[in-house]
Amino acid sequence: EFMKISYILMLSRLVVHFLQQHKQDERTLTLDFFLILKLGLYTVPVLVLLTLQSDLGTALVFVAIYGGIILLSGVSWKILLPITLFVTIVGGVLIYLAAFQREFLLSTGLVRPYQIARIDSWFRPFDDTRGDAYQLAQSIKAIGSGQLSGKGFGVSQVPVPVRESDFIFTTIGENFGFIGAGVLLFVYFMLIYQMVQTCFETKNEFYTYIATGVITMIMFHILENIGMNIGLLPITGIPLPFVSQGGSALLGNMIGIGLILSMRYHHRSYMFSSQNDSEF
């Protein structure tokens, strides 16, 4: 979790340094490709370590941060489009193999049996409600039972495993219903909006890349966590920012928000001092 913040700072520094080095050069596809490759060299070791830990969910967070910073760096769509198509095709092929050719996929060692089980529960959450799909089936039931306004604070009648961390959204949906879930999403929207505003206010390239990394990290956590709670995305064990039970993920998100608050504070202090100097 703490590596996410270090990773964001490292990639931001690399991009800014790279663009400053080639400020006078024409932005070509070769230059863009070299930038992607350079950032990728710093990303691969992290993904290798996460692969050894069998932590696909966290690996996807790093990939999202990597993609967000590359998009902001101004890489040409002529490179991004083929990469996006390639990733989409590979993802589709892996899902197809997991659904219909799982023995072959398991023999390659690319996926583990528990990952296959998660894909099965994602596609058919109510086929095995007493087995691997129990958690997701109970999550969907709990959120649906909240209906429009919920059952009330502290009223949780549908048992959901790991409710306090990865599946905390089920408690919000059951206790406060669609209205409560909508309020939570609105609060997240305002948080992200304020972080985006900081990017426009500071007009500092290094700050902008850091903020982009933090925004991407938090947005991916939100989308993946809520998506897996309602059955739109497979279960990956990603916590809901600032709502799931605390730990290293909470501290990492707090550090990210603290960095952005520090950017805003230093920018406003600089603007205030500049106005005072101009008056004198």
The token pair at 179 is 């209205």
pTM of this prediction?
0.87
Q: What is the pLDDT of residue 272?
A: 61
Q: What is the pLDDT of residue 64?
A: 93
Question: At residue 169, does pLDDT exceed 70?
Answer: yes
The token pair at 126 is 């109510």
Question: At residue 178, does pLDDT exceed 80?
Answer: yes
The mean pLDDT value for 173-202 works out to 92
Separation of alpha carbons 230 and 26, rounded Å: 47
Find the range with the poorest average confidence among 147-151, 214-218, 234-238: 234-238
Find the range with the poorest average confidence among 36-45, 72-81, 91-100, 188-197: 91-100
Separation of alpha carbons 23 and 192, rounded Å: 30
Q: What is the pLDDT of residue 242?
A: 92
Separation of alpha carbons 144 and 227, rounded Å: 14
The mean pLDDT value for 95-110 works out to 75
Question: At residue 192, does pLDDT exceed 80?
Answer: yes
With cut-offs at 50, 70 and 90, classify the pLDDT of residue 12: very high
> Is the model more confident about 98 or about 233?
233
Separation of alpha carbons 75 and 20, rounded Å: 15
